[in-house]
Amino acid sequence: MRYRELGKTGLMVSEIGLGAEWLERHSAGEVKAVIDCCQEQGINILDCWMSEPNVRSNIGRALAGRREQWIIQGHFGSTWQNGQYIRTRDMPKVKAAFEDLLARLQTDSIDLGMIHFVDEEAEFRQVMEGEFLAYVKEQKAKGAVRHIGLSTHNPRVAKLAVLSGEIEMLLFSINPAFDLLPPTEDINAYYANTYEESLGGIDPERAELYQLCEREGVGITVMKGYAGGRLFSAQASPFGVALTPVQCIHYALTRPAVASILAGYDTPAHVMAAVAYETACQEEKDYASVLARAPHHAYSGQCTYCGHCAPCPAKIDIAMVNKLYDLAEMQEKVPATVRAHYGALAAHAGDCIACGSCEERCPFGVPVVERMRKAEALLG
């Protein structure tokens, strides 16, 4: 298992994580079997947004005696009322649900305290300017939360969070299908398969968000990396072609600022299907060629940092240069950190010999040689 630093939190998280939602439908023994398998495979981060009491207790029992080996991502605002999940900003209910989370997980603190499910800009301002954020910060001051995060599906809300200075990391929905769509406050729009007018590559506001997170040191953990399983079916996929779990994972992990993709598992076999990514060959990870050959094409001319351009005879890490170039280009002045990261590369864009072999391999027809010239002019 490989590990990545989660933004500026200092936490090193497994790049494959556990999104525990599916565990709601399983017994204590089955939950423990999944968590045992995850730990055996090196997974060290889990998200528990669910408010249902039994799953919280089952996870807590499964973690007993090894809490310190896990990074727990828990949520403020996810409550259980009258036998069902309700997202709320009602502070007495928020507080009771958070205390319940700690008690059932058998811990006195969580690592990542998430402001739960904020997709509306008006609601974001309400949360950040009122007693909700004050309570979350109080829990951090007490040591019940180590870092403050926010979960959202809306890139506009995510950008507001990053720029607020209060949010240290995001839980954000990332997959090749969702990335095509413009921002919306209605999560159901992402599942409506209304992609016909959106097959033109990554939505600019999403691309900007990922670069902004990279710039500000706000790490991302990924939810809905499989688009609810729709990407596994050619009929349900907007591309008209099916992807594998490994390909979906690779797509998420090649986005700037992403530290971990939190997948859902019903069984240890599902865990193994995800961690197969760690030993997969490049052909197995290759989402780019699949999308480029799909009946409904997308991403033409756009670098997705997929790595198809390698190997470069001049030893340039082309995908990394492109990431840094995109990050620098979105700002009036190139940040010193970006310039320093570029300078530390073993080979630079100026070393490009314009052989064009990278362009022959690129599934999306990116003008790599031209981008190397521009990158050297901007960063060299």
Query: Helix crossing, 368-379 with 336-343: angle to 10°?
Result: 120
Can you tell me the distance from the alpha carbon of 339 to that of 342, in angstroms, rounded to the nearest whole number? Answer: 5
| pLDDT the model gives residue 297 | 63
Residue 304 lies in a domain: no
- Overall domain count for the chain: 2
Same domain, 187 and 110: yes
Give yes or no for a contact between 33 and 26, defined as CB atoms under 8 angstroms apart.
Answer: no
Residue 105 lies in a domain: yes
Instruction: For residue range 23-80, list pLDDT tens digits in order.
Output: 998 999 999 999 999 999 999 999 999 999 999 999 999 999 999 999 999 999 999 9
Give the gyration radius of the chain's Cα atoms.
Answer: 21
Same domain, 340 and 252: no
Partners of residue 261 on adjacent β-strands: 16, 222
Look up the domain containing 169 and give its range: 3-284
Same domain, 9 and 63: yes
Instruction: For residue range 252-281, list pLDDT tens digits in order.
Output: 999 999 999 999 999 999 999 999 999 999
Mean pLDDT of 366-373: 94
With cut-offs at 50, 70 and 90, classify the pLDDT of residue 348: very high
Same domain, 49 and 133: yes
Q: Is the pLDDT of residue 296 over 80?
A: no
Tracing tokens 């060959």 back to the chain, one arrives at: 281
**What does each C-alpha distance from 380 to 52, 236, 316, 340, 356 come to in angstroms?**
54, 45, 14, 10, 21
**Residue at a domain's end among 264, 284, 304:** 284
Same domain, 213 and 280: yes
Same domain, 138 and 240: yes
Can you tell me the distance from the alpha carbon of 303 to that of 293, in angstroms, rounded to the nearest whole number? Answer: 16
Q: Is the pLDDT of residue 194 over 90?
A: no
| pLDDT the model gives residue 301 | 79
Same domain, 28 and 100: yes
Range 140-145, long-range pairs (CB < 8 A, 24+ positions)? 140/113, 143/108, 143/109, 144/98, 144/102, 144/108, 144/109, 144/110, 144/113, 145/109, 145/110, 145/111, 145/112, 145/113
Q: Where are the alpha helices (DSSP H) in 71-175?
A: 91-104, 121-129, 131-142, 155-164
Residue 62 lies in a domain: yes
| pLDDT the model gives residue 195 | 60
Give yes or no for a contact between 352 and 335, defined as CB atoms under 8 angstroms apart.
Answer: no
Q: What is the CATH number of the domain that holds 26?
A: 3.20.20.100
Residue 298 lies in a domain: no
Residue 131 lies in a domain: yes
Same domain, 190 and 56: yes
Tell how strand 145-152 and strand 110-115 pair up: parallel
Query: How many beta carbons lie within 10 A of that of residue 264, not counting itself?
Result: 20
Element holding 219 (H helix, E strand): strand 219-223
Same domain, 203 and 264: yes
Same domain, 276 and 331: no
What's the chain's average pLDDT? 92
Residue 133 lies in a domain: yes
Same domain, 280 and 322: no
**Residue at a domain's end among 284, 308, 338:** 284
Same domain, 258 and 346: no
Can you tell me the distance from the alpha carbon of 9 to that of 7, in angstroms, rounded to the nearest whole number? Answer: 6
Residue 266 lies in a domain: yes
| Token output for 122 | 């008006």
Q: Is the pLDDT of residue 136 over 70?
A: yes
| Token output for 229 | 């399983």
| pLDDT the model gives residue 75 | 98
Residue 209 lies in a domain: yes
- In three-state secondary structure terms, 208 is helix
Angle CA(223)–CA(186)–CA(158) in degrees, nearest 5? 50
More confidently predicted of 225 and 308 = 225
